[in-house]
Amino acid sequence: MDANLEYPWPILLGGRATKGSSVTGLLATFSTLPCTQLRKSRYFYFYYDGFYAAACVAGLALMHVSGHRPLVEAWHWSYLALFPFILYAGILSNVFVHVCTHNSLPRPLNRIVGELCGLVILTRFASWEILHQRHHRYSDDLDKDPHPVDASYWKFVWHHIANLEGSLHQVVFDLYGDTPKNRRIERVRSVVSFVTGVLVVITWYKLLGPIAFFGFYLPGVTIGVFHLVHFNWSTHNAFSPTRDFKPVNLDHGYYKIGNKLFFGIYMHANHHKRTNVLNPATIVPSLPITPPPTRAEILAARSLAA
């Protein structure tokens, strides 16, 4: 057998290994971010999504043959007391996906923690990380930023979701060329990613059961998405009456509490200055903190959003 035979399992997360270096390849896989792996392999996403699809199918089969019982089999109103903690954990999962995107944890932990948290929030780590790197490269560029800010929060929510797949395509086209072949491959990749996402949702449903899934998990994930989008919106100066959209530091009212709970995420100008710092609120010297908008500025911003 060829000594340089490639094994597909290290590539499942974008790595590369040979018969003589499989351990090294696996370690490299878990210390490299997806955007780097996509640059190395045009077909990275097929290995990545294929791994998750296979893992979900295996998990579903195991739960079926083992007679797995739902996490919660009967509803009790006292369970509602758990929801704030579940919601906090869900929002923290988004925070830590963001943290891991920037290699802010010790290097061996970023990929592992990012993948685990990406599963919790249903997006999976790769798409989150690849698109966020593009956001930092083209921040607030109306044509290239995956989610350029709009004065209207709800328009921003829609654009934030609707533009994601097209932005992923554009990342690939920037790397490998906007050709008919690559467009065909990306259409197939979109279907594979969608099916994999559905399998992830079904696996969570089977694992948790309908009560825990619909009563806690899905509402927590959904609120977490709206919180994430609001974070992106507000920290790019969305209340500017002149559309001066740019990263800003916020530390008043709700944002001050959010900075305490979520590792300084609203100190966003600091974050764009030094992306690999776990808590941007600890950066010294800090960039200026944007004061609360005046009533006149709020009214002007609302008129822009109308």
- Cα–Cα separations (whole angstroms), residue 129 to 16, 114, 221, 282: 20, 9, 18, 23
Task: Classify residue 61: in a domain, yes or no.
Answer: no
Q: At what angle do helices 83-101 and 107-120 cross, to 10 degrees?
A: 140
Task: Classify residue 126: in a domain, yes or no.
Answer: yes
Report the candidate in 185, 152, 148, 182 with the shortest Cα–Cα distance to residue 163: 148
Query: In this structure, what token pair is assigned to residue 298?
Result: 């709020």
Instruction: Report pLDDT digits (tens) over 4-58.
Output: 333 344 444 544 444 444 555 555 667 789 999 999 999 999 999 999 999 999 9
Distance, CA of 288 to CA of 284 (rounded, Å): 11
Task: Classify residue 261: in a domain, yes or no.
Answer: yes
Query: In this structure, what token pair is assigned to residue 163?
Result: 């533009």
Which residues neighbour 138 within 8 Å (Cβ) at sequence distance 6 or greater?
144, 145
* Average pLDDT of the residues in 174-192: 95
Query: What pLDDT shows up at residue 261?
Result: 95
Query: What pLDDT shows up at residue 29?
Result: 66
Residue 35 exposure: Cα atoms within 13 Å on the Cβ side: 17
Which residues neighbour 36 within 8 Å (Cβ) at sequence distance 6 or greater?
14
- Cα–Cα separations (whole angstroms), residue 69 to 1, 63, 195, 209: 45, 8, 25, 8
Task: Classify residue 104: in a domain, yes or no.
Answer: yes
Query: What pLDDT shows up at residue 26?
Result: 54
Unique residue bearing structure tokens 């640059």: 39
Range of the domain at 263: 79-305
Task: Classify residue 45: in a domain, yes or no.
Answer: no
Query: What pLDDT shows up at residue 8?
Result: 41
Task: Classify residue 204: in a domain, yes or no.
Answer: yes
Question: Given pLDDT bands bounded at 50, 70 and 90, which one contains residue 92?
Answer: very high
- Does 87 have pLDDT greater than 60? yes
Task: Classify residue 67: in a domain, yes or no.
Answer: no
Instruction: Report pLDDT digits (tens) over 131-181.
Output: 999 988 888 887 888 888 888 899 899 888 888 899 999 999 999 999 999
Query: In this structure, what token pair is assigned to residue 100?
Result: 């891991």
Query: What pLDDT shows up at residue 10?
Result: 46
SS3 of residue 158 by DSSP: helix
Q: What rounded mean pLDDT belongs to the chain?
A: 87
Instruction: For residue 237, give the amino acid letter.
Output: N
Q: Higher model confidence: residue 12 or residue 287?
A: 287
Could you tell me if 163 and 144 are in contact, meaning their C-beta atoms sit under 8 angstroms apart?
Answer: no
Query: What pLDDT shows up at residue 162?
Result: 86
- Does 277 have pLDDT greater than 90? yes
Distance, CA of 85 to CA of 98 (rounded, Å): 20
- Does 115 have pLDDT greater than 70? yes
**Domain total for the chain?**
1
Instruction: Report pLDDT digits (tens) over 144-157.
Output: 888 888 888 998 99
Query: Can you give the length of the chain in residues?
Result: 306
In 3-state terms, the chain is what percent helix, strand and coil (to 5)?
65, 0, 35
- Does 120 have pLDDT greater than 70? yes
Unique residue bearing structure tokens 């392999």: 41
Query: What pLDDT shows up at residue 173?
Result: 95
Query: What pLDDT shows up at residue 4?
Result: 33
Task: Classify residue 288: in a domain, yes or no.
Answer: yes
Cβ count near 106 (within 10 Å): 8
Query: What pLDDT shows up at residue 285?
Result: 93
SS3 of residue 269 by DSSP: helix
* Dihedral of alpha carbons 28, 31, 34, 40, sign: negative
- Does 241 have pLDDT greater than 90? no
